[in-house]
């Protein structure tokens, strides 16, 4: 599937940014600005069912296949948030970035209560700038605008991933490339026991104290501080 892929910057280093569910590449706007200032060229696809990319079936393997078909291999760093982290984990063997960062990744989704997908759908359908800002008081106006834009364009069937067997139960068994798992505190998706499993499997794990699931929007300085040595 041919994805809509956003590119910006002229740096010698390349960063691949993979957004989470219900968003699109615009969620990374502030991260993108900072990476470009640090000498990166940014590549940020819209996953299938999101933004301006086509619709289709929704399985982690298919999201990963799309990435392999649409973005370059061997980038300097790849960052995947939430479901984007899950897609990156399935694609990393083939993409082979120099470093992989999984930001509060949607692996086992252990902390989600029953019926979360219905709650999320209702939240999206009733979203306004005021409601998004009230739920996320630390977000900038640009973050709120990007959230609403993502809500307006994503295929609601994507939410099937939140109840799919693979998305609920998957955990990478090895760090194929040097890999960091960056967690919110508390994490929406990864419990302490799973975090230790990831360490045992060769992943470095760091937390951003007080940040919610969208770390890059809740605490941009904390997001970058926790990536010290990785970007």
The CATH number given to whatever domain includes residue 177 is 3.40.50.1820
> Whole-prediction pTM value?
0.95
Report pLDDT for 169: 75
What long-range pairs does 227-231 form, CB within 8 A, spacing at least 24?
A: 227/101, 227/180, 227/182, 230/77, 230/99, 230/101, 230/180, 231/15, 231/35, 231/38, 231/40, 231/77, 231/99, 231/101
- The whole-number pLDDT of residue 120 equals 81
In a domain, 81, yes or no: yes
Q: 119 near 106, Cβ under 8 Å?
A: no
User: Residue 19's CB: how many other CB atoms inside 10 A?
Assistant: 28
The answer to whether residue 69 sits within a structural domain is: yes
Burial profile 176-201: b = 16 or more Cβ within 10 angstroms, e = fewer: beebbbbbbeebbbbeeebbebbeee
Kindly state the helix (H) or strand (E) to which residue 150 belongs, with its residue range.
Answer: helix 141-153
In a domain, 171, yes or no: yes
Q: How many CB atoms lie within 10 A of CB 125?
A: 9
Is residue 192 domain-resident?
yes
Closest CA to 90 of 75, 102, 77: 102
Q: Is residue 230 part of a domain?
A: no
Give the span between the Cα atoms of 98 and 194, in whole angstroms.
24
pLDDT score at 56? 95
SS3 for 103?
strand
Number of domains in the chain: 1
Provide the residue range defining the domain that includes 11. Answer: 5-225
Task: For residue 214, count other CB atoms closer than 10 A to its CB.
Answer: 24
Strand 40-45 with 77-81, pairing = unpaired
140 belongs to a structural domain:
yes
Residue 27 DSSP SS3: helix
Whether the CB-CB separation of 38 and 140 falls below 8 Å is answered with: no
- 45 forms beta bridges with 5
How many Cβ atoms are within 10 Å of 120's Cβ, its own excluded?
16
Give the pLDDT confidence score for residue 16 in this predicted structure. 99
Tens of pLDDT along the chain (231 residues) come to 999 999 999 999 999 999 999 999 999 999 999 999 999 999 999 999 999 999 999 999 999 999 999 999 999 999 999 999 999 999 999 999 999 999 999 998 765 556 667 778 888 999 999 999 999 999 999 999 999 999 999 999 998 877 655 556 789 999 999 999 999 999 988 999 999 999 999 999 999 999 999 999 999 999 999 999 999
Gap between the Cα atoms of 116 and 55, Å rounded? 22
Per DSSP, the three-state class of 34 is: helix
Domain assignment of residue 48, yes or no: yes
Is residue 231 in some structural domain?
Answer: no
């Amino acid at each position: 599937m041919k994805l809509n892929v956003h590119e910006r910057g002229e740096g010698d280093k390349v960063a691949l940014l993979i957004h989470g569910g219900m968003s699109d590449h615009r969620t990374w706007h502030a991260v993108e600005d900072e990476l470009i200032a640090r000498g990166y060229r940014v590549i940020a696809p819209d996953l299938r069912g999101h933004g301006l990319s086509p619709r289709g079936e929704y399985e982690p393997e298919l999201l990963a296949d799309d990435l392999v078909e649409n973005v370059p291999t061997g980038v300097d760093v790849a960052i995947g948030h939430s479901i984007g982290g899950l897609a990156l984990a399935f694609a990393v063997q083939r993409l082979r970035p120099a470093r992989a960062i999984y930001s509060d990744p949607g692996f086992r989704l252990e902390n989600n209560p029953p019926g979360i997908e219905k709650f999320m759908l209702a939240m999206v359908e009733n979203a306004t700038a005021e409601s998004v800002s009230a739920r996320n008081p630390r977000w900038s106006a640009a973050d709120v605008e990007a959230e609403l834009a993502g809500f307006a364009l994503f295929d609601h069937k994507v939410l099937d991933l939140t109840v799919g067997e693979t998305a609920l139960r998957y955990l990478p068994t090895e760090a194929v490339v040097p890999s960091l798992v960056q967690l919110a505190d508390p994490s929406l998706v990864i419990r302490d026991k799973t975090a230790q499993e990831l360490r045992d499997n060769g992943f470095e794990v760091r937390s951003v104290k007080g940040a919610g699931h969208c770390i890059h929007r809740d605490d941009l300085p904390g997001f970058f501080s926790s990536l010290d040595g990785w970007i």
